[in-house]
Amino acid sequence: MSVVLNSGRRKWLQAARQCCSVAMLLSILALLAVPTTAESERAPCATQAPQKQAFFGDLHVHTRYSLDASTQGTRTTPAQAYQFAQGKNIGIQPWTQDGKAQRSLQLSRPLDFAMVSDHAELIGEVYMCNTPEFEGYSSWQCLIYRHWSRGAFYLFNYMATIEQSHLGQCGDDDAVCLRAALQPWQETQQAAEDFYDRSAQCEFTTFVGYEWTGMDSSNGGNLHRNVVFRNAEVPRLPASFIDEPAPHLLWDSLRDNCNDSGTGCDSLVIPHNSNYSAGSMFTGLTDDGAPMNAEYAASRARFEPLVEIMQHKGASECYFEVGVTEDELCAFEQLPKDNIAGFNDPPTPDTGFVRKVLVDGLVIENELGINPYQFGVIASTDTHLGTPGAAREDLFLGHGGAGVSAEKEIPLGLPDELIYNPGGLAVLWAHENSRDALFDAMRRREAYGTSGPRIISRFFAGWDFPEDLCRSPNRIERAYAGGVPMGSILPNGLGAQARPTFLVTASQDAGTPTTPGTPLQRLQVIKGWVDTSGQRHERVVDVAGNADNGAAVDLQSCATSGSGFTDLCTVWVDEDFDPSERAYYYSRAVENPTCRWSQRMCASAGVNCALPDTISEGYEGCCVAEHRPVVQERAWSSPIWYSPASAPGSAALGLARFQ
């Protein structure tokens, strides 16, 4: 149900607020909700990109209605989050006693799209404990929330994730808390509606969505997922981990109350930061621990076409350990723990890193004929400040969540824990910037993620791309005509001697007049495959650029030096291809080295680790062994898959129509 109110109803409600309680108004608001079919009411976009355009956004944003954000002082509303995404300066915590923000943030470039994804769990309690007129405001639970915020964070989350329960102030059948949840959920929908550009300019797109926040209590593994709705037709309330305490129950709820409901509702689900999942996000089993079956695999493939490869709490691409993994770039933003609960367990190859899971999917497809892990990739911030797209290293003020709290005062020195980072951006290839076009890009997996920069990445596969395709002025048109883009399944080649060819391109972030982008260093293709004996393999190939280009960064000034590339393009042929083996391929574009956010602050504070007297209070982390002073930003494309025979599972699921 949509909650888009016409102007008459909105004015009536403003008058009604002067005479009615909040609880009564919530009931009235639910009755006044107006169903819509969103895209039928928008103007056609004036600008169309025949070969598609890269749109940059953030699909993982928390505001004041998320428990962890609110208990760290976040006051940003969903509407303010969208204003920030469009380039407006907003204030963030800490706050003075008279409510003035002591810090602020602003994007140097607006985003093309964004989605507020507040936690469904406890959203009613957060509203209840902040609204004096609402029943339950004076409960002992809300008193703890208002007077001991960190204690409330742990207590409330323990009940939601471990006990799958509310705290007791919700009444029979949790009716009070569910009624309280209506207001923030409706406000989230209204903000998405208000800031969605329905004009022909199509400058900014919003999505209604939320986060389903599950955890494996046996190991502290993160099971979190963001739910994205195509349009304004959404369920009355979001399904939470309390309501649906397993991924397949979430999919079932979305199937019954959205995708198959006949209302026009449509949704997809994005698992996020599997680097914190302790192996529980992608087990190769059903949620009940039984061997994977075709029905479960099909549901997963239907609802989860994407995975989040990068965010504030680390990168999930691949695992690195000296002597175990040859790809040193896998060490990028790897966290020292494998779980979100804080257990001191280091990551392992089985933690849930995307590259291994992609191979797991090939193995399962061999057995079941369906690949449950045939997902594309995006990145996002997971900001808990309500600041979508705030992923620049030089402007990082922390993101909250699991990081440093700034509820009461500005953090002294570094504003976040060293292990965390500014997060990344989601990029979608679409003909226009509209909900339908962007949602279809997500579903067909023509998407990629960056670690923050606005790198342009394209990746195509075919069987006969010419060697000189990069020199063709219409190379993208020819690539679409003669092959398939990222996120697709490569049809079988003609003849046993056929070899897949790949058009791999990337362009550096153009930057702004005051902050130019960083040149690219190299362009890579990563291949994973399973041979006929069931053995798993991976290979990383530098296909363009130069890993030894001499690029460097001065850690005291953060000035960069050395050559690099504005654009990289090549046609790469897999000469070792075996048509009998299932495989996936994706590209990785890597920038020259620059200072990480933490080193920028250390350098700005004059810290020189060789001179102890320069290490002022709050900057001790600049000189610990765990500190990573240099970063090489990057972009990861969604994979392209090859199967010895056409993939029956994917075709049966209707994915073929998106190729």
Q: Which of 599, 531, 521 is nearest to 564 (CA)?
A: 521
Give pLDDT tens digits for 591-600: 999 999 999 9
* CA atoms within 13 A of residue 276's CA, in its CB half-sphere: 28
- 20, 24, 25, 29 alpha-carbon torsion, rounded to 10°: -150
Helix axes 294-303, 247-254, angle to 10 degrees: 70
Which CATH code is given to the segment(s) 455-593+632-658? 2.70.50
- 390, 391, 397, 403 alpha-carbon torsion, rounded to 10°: 110
Cα 311 to Cα 451: distance, rounded to the nearest angstrom: 8
**Looking at residues 119-136, what average pLDDT do you find?**
96
**Contact present, 251 and 334 (Cβ < 8 Å):** no
Give pLDDT tens digits for 71-84: 999 999 999 999 99
pLDDT of the residue at 128:
97
Between the alpha carbon of residue 1 and those of residues 4, 295, 306, 375, 508, the distances in Å are 9, 29, 25, 29, 42
The single-letter code of the amino acid at 364 is I
pLDDT averaged over the chain? 91
Q: Which of 245, 282, 275 is nearest to 335 (CA)?
A: 275
User: What's 127's DSSP letter?
Assistant: H
**Contact present, 65 and 129 (Cβ < 8 Å):** no
User: What's 265's DSSP letter?
Assistant: -
Give pLDDT tens digits for 565-575: 999 999 999 99
Give pLDDT tens digits for 224-254: 999 999 999 999 999 999 999 999 999 999 9
**Contact present, 121 and 134 (Cβ < 8 Å):** no
Q: Look at residue 405 and give its three-state secondary structure.
A: coil
With cut-offs at 50, 70 and 90, classify the pLDDT of residue 539: very high
pLDDT of the residue at 337:
96
**Could you tell me what percent of the chain has a pLDDT over 90?**
87
Q: Which of 301, 229, 268 is nearest to 654 (CA)?
A: 301
User: Quick one: 323 exposed, middle or buried, by C-beta within 10 A (0-12, 13-18, 19+)?
Assistant: exposed
Q: Which of 449, 520, 461 is nearest to 488 (CA)?
A: 461
Question: With b meaning 16 or more CB within 10 Å and e meaning fewer, what string describes 131-143?
Answer: beebbbbebebbe
pLDDT of the residue at 39:
66
Q: Which of 205, 213, 262 is nearest to 233 (CA)?
A: 262
Give pLDDT tens digits for 339-360: 999 999 999 999 999 999 999 9
User: Quick one: 104 exposed, middle or buried, by C-beta within 10 A (0-12, 13-18, 19+)?
Assistant: exposed
pLDDT of the residue at 322:
86
The single-letter code of the amino acid at 534 is G
pLDDT of the residue at 41:
78
Phi/psi zone of residue 269: left (φ > 0), alpha (ψ -120 to 50 degrees), beta?
beta
Between the alpha carbon of residue 537 and those of residues 74, 295, 332, 589, the distances in Å are 45, 28, 21, 21
pLDDT of the residue at 40:
62
What's the pTM value of the predicted model, to 2 decimals? 0.92
**Looking at residues 123-137, what average pLDDT do you find?**
96
Query: What is the 3-class SS of 321-345, one letter each residue?
Result: CCCCCCCHHHHCCCCCCCECCCCCC
Between the alpha carbon of residue 296 and those of residues 251, 368, 373, 630, the distances in Å are 10, 11, 12, 42
Cα 358 to Cα 351: distance, rounded to the nearest angstrom: 13
pLDDT of the residue at 11:
37
Query: Domain residues of the chain, as ranges?
Result: 1-35, 36-449, 455-593+632-658
CA 642 from centre of chain: 26
Q: Which two three-digit tokens encode residue 184? A: 């923030």
Indicate whether 647 pLDDT > 70. no
Cα 204 to Cα 196: distance, rounded to the nearest angstrom: 6
pLDDT of the residue at 403:
74
36-449 adopts what CATH topology? TIM Barrel (3.20.20)
Give pLDDT tens digits for 391-425: 999 999 999 977 777 888 898 999 999 999 999 99
Give the CA angle between residues 383, 598, 542 to the nearest 5°.
85
The phi, psi pair for 260, rounded to 5°, reads: -110, 20
Give pLDDT tens digits for 266-302: 999 999 999 999 999 999 999 999 999 999 999 999 9
**Looking at residues 174-193, what average pLDDT do you find?**
97
Q: Which of 489, 96, 157 is nearest to 342 (CA)?
A: 157
Q: Look at residue 77 and give its three-state secondary structure.
A: coil
Which of 36 and 512 is assigned the larger pLDDT?
Answer: 512
Between the alpha carbon of residue 444 and those of residues 113, 498, 655, the distances in Å are 18, 26, 7
Cα 190 to Cα 197: distance, rounded to the nearest angstrom: 13
